[in-house]
Amino acid sequence: MTDTTFTFRVDSTLKAAFNAMAEEQDLSAAQILRRMMREAVENHNEAAAHERWQRREIGDAMHEADRTRRHGLSNGAIEAEWRQRIDETGHSDDA
């Protein structure tokens, strides 16, 4: 890992309060900022992955709805298909 410097402006009162907080935690301001940056990137990546999963699920559901409409399947026929899947697999989802 190559280290680099990150420089930005911040209000002097906020900086003083942040440094005091860091000192109370026996950490450097840089340690806290690095942790916060890692957490922010991790949270962003998790949210993006969840959004991709959600879009796939919605797409799959829309495809399934379109399939049932195209084939003129009734609610009863769909329920029967799912009951058969549950009986065959022992659970109600394909995961």
Give yes or no for a contact between 32 and 22, defined as CB atoms under 8 angstroms apart: yes
Residue ranges per structural domain of the chain:
12-89
- Give 39: exposed, middle or buried? Use CB within 10 Å, 0-12, 13-18, 19+: exposed
| Res 75: pLDDT | 78
| Res 48: pLDDT | 97
Q: What is the reported pTM? A: 0.60
| Res 64: pLDDT | 82
Q: Which residue has the tokens 């301001």?
A: 29
pLDDT greater than 80 at residue 94: no
Average confidence (pLDDT) over 15-33: 96
pLDDT greater than 60 at residue 86: yes
